[in-house]
A = this chain, B = another copy of it.
Amino acid sequence: MSEVGIIAYGTSPFTKEDHKIESMLHKSTNDLFKKNPDINKNKIDAVLVSTNNNSKYLSPVLSEMAGIQPKIAHSIESLCNSGTNSIVSAFSYISSGLADMVLVTGAERYDSPGQILEWDNSRGEFKHPIFWASIFSKSYKREYGISDEQLAIVSVKNHKQAKENPNALSKKTYTVEDVMNSKKLTDDLRLLNCSRPCTGSASILLASKEVAEKYTDMPIWITGIGQKTTSAGFTKNTSLTSMESTTIAGQSALKMSNRNISEIDVAELHDAFSVCEPMILESLGFTNPGEGINMSQKLHEESNFMINPRGGLIGSGHPLGATGISQTIEIVQQLQKTAESRQTNNPKTGLVHNMSAAATSSTVLVLEK
């Protein structure tokens, strides 16, 4: 399999603003080219757009706006992990030899139609993800004797970390008490336990080894890819306290990269809700079942940004199609040591975890410099 590197990135601030999807796509793409004026647009073989927006033909539209005439141009959608699905697709276009350089741009509006999965009747009256997040929270707390106050730590930590991320939606920090006093959505979920949908965009440029080394002396290599879809409907999940698709995707990605989990120095994990962070930490093997919340708490106390340095989805906001790409950019910055006040200590190997619909599907990427 050919080596594939990330050679450039661009992003927009994550906001609640009302912009057209085409403008949002162009915003991070434009940022990428402004940061990297040497990139020859004529050599971009593919433009992949990651979004849940209902507008069509967005890849040719973005290409025209950006002055690119690619061979391959299409949109990719898989709800909340559309972004990493697009990155894996870009990897395959390059690795197969069909492309040498691929632009991946994700964008979403605050009113994304991807927030609700109409098809899943098993969610009962709540079509919104707070349904499954509540059940996960209740089950997880009961199984491991965890309190609401303990879960709130994830929100406190990730909002704190987001404060160091200039593009994050959240600009505030909160205490455990703030989280406990925020609006009650269900018996097991309060507003500050939730990531918030928002408007945002993120772009990365991937290239074959030969091309990557022409443009930069610090490409970040995608050395591991793991993906798994177990179902689409929530009630098909085999466990309510762990994430099977995440475990399988994590094992595959680590195997491909010839790494084990203890070698991961920094990670972006899909904390759509507070309970997700400990569940993912455990499902990936960062810690034992039931001990994820202790790990989040310890990292918080030590002001260690190892997990979700950009503030996760809870702090950064969650523009669905842009999220996986934004997570990946954070790990690229961490490995390139350009993450400024979010920088972790000399990381060599990073991990991205991105999932959809109650972890019925997951993607895990391993990145290395």
On chain B, the residues within 8 Å of A242 by CB distance are none
Copies in the complex: 2
On chain B, the residues within 8 Å of A226 by CB distance are 71
CA separation between A96 and B113, bound complex, in Å?
32
A69 touches B232 (CB 8 A): no
B229 touches A60 (CB 8 A): yes
19 residue pairs of the A-B complex, CB under 8 angstroms, read A1-B97, A1-B98, A22-B119, A54-B113, A56-B77, A56-B113, A57-B117, A61-B232, A70-B229, A71-B249, A73-B85, A73-B229, A75-B76, A76-B76, A77-B77, A89-B92, A91-B96, A95-B97, A98-B225
Min C-beta distance of A357 to chain B, whole Å: 6
Does A296 interact with chain B (Cβ within 8 Å)?
A: no
Interface residues of A in 37-65 (CB under 8 A from B): 47, 52, 54-57, 59-61, 63-64
Binding site for B on A (CB under 8 A): 1-2, 22, 47, 52, 54-57, 59-61, 63-64, 69-79, 82, 85, 88-89, 91-98, 113-114, 117-119, 225-233, 236, 249, 252, 356-357, 360-361
B57 touches A356 (CB 8 A): yes
Given known A-B contacts A72-B227, A88-B72, A78 and B54 have beta carbons under 8 A apart: no
B61 touches A119 (CB 8 A): yes
On chain B, the residues within 8 Å of A55 by CB distance are 118-119
A228 touches B71 (CB 8 A): yes
On chain B, the residues within 8 Å of A76 by CB distance are 74-76
Residue among A93, A98, A233 facing the most chain B CB atoms (10 A cut-off): A98
Q: Which residue of B lies closest to A95 (CB)?
A: B96
A69 touches B229 (CB 8 A): yes
On chain B, the residues within 8 Å of A77 by CB distance are 56-57, 74-75, 77
On chain B, the residues within 8 Å of A57 by CB distance are 77-79, 117, 119, 232, 356-357
A63 touches B229 (CB 8 A): yes
On chain B, the residues within 8 Å of A73 by CB distance are 78, 85, 227, 229, 361
Closest 10 CB pairs of A and B: A95-B96, A60-B232, A74-B78, A92-B96, A73-B229, A96-B96, A92-B92, A61-B232, A74-B85, A71-B227
CA separation between A70 and B48, bound complex, in Å?
21
